[in-house]
């Protein structure tokens, strides 16, 4: 019998797969097969946790700016306002490559794609500042699922994670919002949202989007690391505290466990009179293992 990672009920009849990171954030590879998360929990997270986060201006505007489609293939509009007023507007790229702006009263007009929005007094905030309660539940959900994903084909490990009381606190918080009002997490910007990285397949410079990792500190705490367009989120899988991560940052000069720990560097270069940020170096797992080995007991 298979057990759901969250509610621990039988998943023998479950038919849905679970995306560790929501598809609508642009993640398509981290997928758990059916039987790991039951249909009921899968639907719950989609409706009650992921949907309100994805619709919040923090992520909606980022998704709209980078044209990340939802599950149905639709692209979200970017929410904004007319400067100096309280008039809300939506900005959307249509099929012809033009920008369509919709006012609150549904009046629409087209704007040429290359027009200066600022000069026309339209303000579209592009920043990530989601509600902490929902974001922490999303992080808790992703953290537990990522632990499974890392050892997906080890059936004993999957069974242990589903049954282990050590993870009951984070699973009950993610699924039932029980235990604490907000499970604390770390949030900081580690590089600009438009930073570029090498595409591992094409070799082209592309916008750095999503990243995931695990960090085990000398306290033997396991932290889940999620990076979204330069914003790093870190949550403790074992308990509602980030003191161990703050201690790790202090010990290692505030480097990112997702970047410098693997030998990756952030480099600013001038290009056409502007400063462009590049993430240089290969995200090498061996470098991370060696870093942890050298620093684990310090």
Phi, psi values for residue 180, rounded to 5°: -135, 160
Instruction: Decide if 234 is inside a domain.
Output: yes
Q: Any idea how long the chain is?
A: 298
Encode pLDDT of 152-184 as tens digits. 888 888 888 999 999 999 999 999 999 999 999
Instruction: Decide if 221 is inside a domain.
Output: yes
User: Domain tally for the chain?
Assistant: 2
Is the domain of 119 the same as that of 190? no
**Strand, coil or helix: 16:** coil
pLDDT > 80? residue 116: no
Residue-level pLDDT at 96: 62
Is the domain of 192 the same as that of 104? no
| Domain extent for 290 | 184-295
**What residues pair up with 211 in beta bridges, in sequence order?**
227
Give the pLDDT mean for 110-137.
Answer: 69
> Of the candidates 123, 150, 173, which is a domain's last residue?
123
Residue-level pLDDT at 115: 40
Encode pLDDT of 178-201 as tens digits. 999 999 999 999 999 999 998 888
Encode pLDDT of 251-282 as tens digits. 999 999 999 999 999 999 988 888 999 999 88
Phi, psi values for residue 186, rounded to 5°: -95, 140
Q: Report in angstroms the alpha-carbon separations of 128 from 17, 60, 140, 191, 251.
A: 28, 10, 18, 13, 27
pLDDT > 80? residue 106: no
Model-level pTM?
0.88
Instruction: Decide if 166 is inside a domain.
Output: no
Listing DSSP states for 49-117 in one string gives IIHHHHHSHHHHHHHHHTT---TTSPPPPEEEEETTS--EEEEEE-TTS-EEEEETT--EEEE-TTS-T
**What residues pair up with 228 in beta bridges, in sequence order?**
210, 231
Instruction: Decide if 199 is inside a domain.
Output: yes
Listing DSSP states for 166-225 in one string gives GGHHHHHHHHH--S-SS--EEEEE-S-TT-EEE-TTT--EEE--EEEEEEE-TT--EEEE
Is the domain of 114 the same as that of 188? no
Give the pLDDT mean for 204-220.
Answer: 90
Distance between CA atoms of residues 232 and 57, nearest Å: 18
Encode pLDDT of 88-97 as tens digits. 777 776 666 6
> Of the candidates 100, 123, 146, which is a domain's last residue?
123
DSSP H or E stretch at residue 274:
strand 274-280
Which of 14-28, 139-153, 201-215, 282-296 is the least confident region? 282-296
Distance between CA atoms of residues 26 and 143, nearest Å: 17
DSSP H or E stretch at residue 132:
helix 132-150
Instruction: Decide if 69 is inside a domain.
Output: yes
> Of the candidates 123, 148, 164, which is a domain's last residue?
123
Give the pLDDT mean for 109-138.
Answer: 70
Could you tell me the pLDDT band of residue 18, with boundaries at 50, 70 and 90?
very high
**Strand, coil or helix: 244:** helix
Instruction: Decide if 222 is inside a domain.
Output: yes
Which of 104-108, 198-202, 243-247, 252-256 is the least confident region? 104-108
Is the domain of 194 the same as that of 289? yes
């Amino acid at each position: 019998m298979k057990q759901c990672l969250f509610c621990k009920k039988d998943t023998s009849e479950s038919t849905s797969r679970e995306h560790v990171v929501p598809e609508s954030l642009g993640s398509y590879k981290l997928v758990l097969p059916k039987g790991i998360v039951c249909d009921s929990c899968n639907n719950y997270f989609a409706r009650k946790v992921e949907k309100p986060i994805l619709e919040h201006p923090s992520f909606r505007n980022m998704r709209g700016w980078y044209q990340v489609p939802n599950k149905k293939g639709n692209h979200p509009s970017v929410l904004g306002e007319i400067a100096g007023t309280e008039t809300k507007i939506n900005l959307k790229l249509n099929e012809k490559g033009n920008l369509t702006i919709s006012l609150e009263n549904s009046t629409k007009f087209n704007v040429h794609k290359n027009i200066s929005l600022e000069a026309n007094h339209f303000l579209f905030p592009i920043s990530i500042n989601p509600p902490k309660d929902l974001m922490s539940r999303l992080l808790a959900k992703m953290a537990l699922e990522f632990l499974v994903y890392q050892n997906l084909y080890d059936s004993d490990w999957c069974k242990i994670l589903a049954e282990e009381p050590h993870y009951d606190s984070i699973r009950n918080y993610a699924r039932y919002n029980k235990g604490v009002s907000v499970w604390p997490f770390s949030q900081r910007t580690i590089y600009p949202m438009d930073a570029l990285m090498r595409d591992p397949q094409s070799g082209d410079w592309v916008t750095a989007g999503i990243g995931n990792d695990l960090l085990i500190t000398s306290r033997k705490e396991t932290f889940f690391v999620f990076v979204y367009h330069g914003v790093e989120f870190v949550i403790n899988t074992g308990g509602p505290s980030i003191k161990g991560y703050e201690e790790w940052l202090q010990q290692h000069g505030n480097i990112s466990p997702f970047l410098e720990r693997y030998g990756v560097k952030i480099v600013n270069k001038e290009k056409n009179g502007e400063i462009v940020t590049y993430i240089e170096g290969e995200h090498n797992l061996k470098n991370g293992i060696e870093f942890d080995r050298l620093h684990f007991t310090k």
